[in-house]
Amino acid sequence: MAKMDSTQNAPSSKPPNRICCCGLKTAGVVVAFVEFLLCVLAIYGLFRNLHVFGLPYLFWFIVGIISILIIFIAIILLLYAIKKEKARLLIPHISAQIFLILFLLIVVVVVALLMLFGAYRGIRRLLGHGDYYMSDDSTRALGYLIIVVYLAVAVLEIFFLYIIYKLYMYFREYKVLTNSSSEYYSKTGANPYNSNEWYIAPPNEHAYGGSPEAGDIYPYDAPFSP
């Protein structure tokens, strides 16, 4: 007989509640922490730009603050969803992630096209720096920096989205498993199992396997009866 492959019985995939080297719930907390740090850096950048560029940047400052507040709410809901193990509370965070990824990729594409056609003033207007003097070389360097940073954050958020989606599916499956029995009893009207309700018959002369006198047939010797 051929020798069995040693890897045949090895698990073909990772457990559904783990990602990389940690559990999904721990990975979700790490995602929330990293996104919180990114929001803090974004707030610092908004205030610095408002100080440097003045009133022309006020509109973008307000839009940025509102966006960060929405992300903060999504992060809080993410942590609460992990604590309560509720899948539906992850939907706002997933929606915010999808919107953020699309926004970052759109900015990267627009800036790349503006740099390709040499429209450096368009880059400054896009960033709210239209009235601020900046040379074309500085604008070009700023454009490359925007492309690199935004693309890196987009890739990171795509990975985070994968983690949160797996966490969402894990919570859904966990809810189905924990609620299946209660849903069954609520629909059928049956009583759930209770070990205290088992009836144990009192001992009798036939309690040890029956009796030949009662017509029981045994392939071997009849069991001992007291």
Whether residue 224 lies inside any domain: the answer is: no
Instruction: Check residue 11 and give its pLDDT.
Output: 45
Whether residue 7 lies inside any domain: the answer is: no
Whether residue 202 lies inside any domain: the answer is: no
Instruction: Check residue 56 and give its pLDDT.
Output: 77
- Overall domain count for the chain: 1
Whether residue 165 lies inside any domain: the answer is: yes
Residues of the chain with pLDDT under 70: 1-21, 128-133, 178-226
Query: What gap in Å lies between CA 141 and CA 19, rounded to an integer?
Result: 37
DSSP letters along 72-102, please?
HHHHHHHHHHHHHT-SGGGHHHHHHHHHHHH
Instruction: Check residue 57 and give its pLDDT.
Output: 80
Domain carrying residue 105 = 22-186
Instruction: Check residue 73 and give its pLDDT.
Output: 95
Residues whose CB is less than 8 angstroms from the CB of residue 169 and which lie 6 or more positions away in sequence, other chains included: 16, 87
Instruction: Check residue 2 and give its pLDDT.
Output: 43
Nearest to 57 by CA among 132, 110, 133: 132
Whether residue 35 lies inside any domain: the answer is: yes
Residue type, 98: I
Determine phi and psi for 10, rounding to 5 degrees: -75, 145
Whether residue 215 lies inside any domain: the answer is: no
Whether residue 194 lies inside any domain: the answer is: no
- Look up the pTM and report it: 0.68
Residue with tokens 């539906």: 88
Whether residue 191 lies inside any domain: the answer is: no
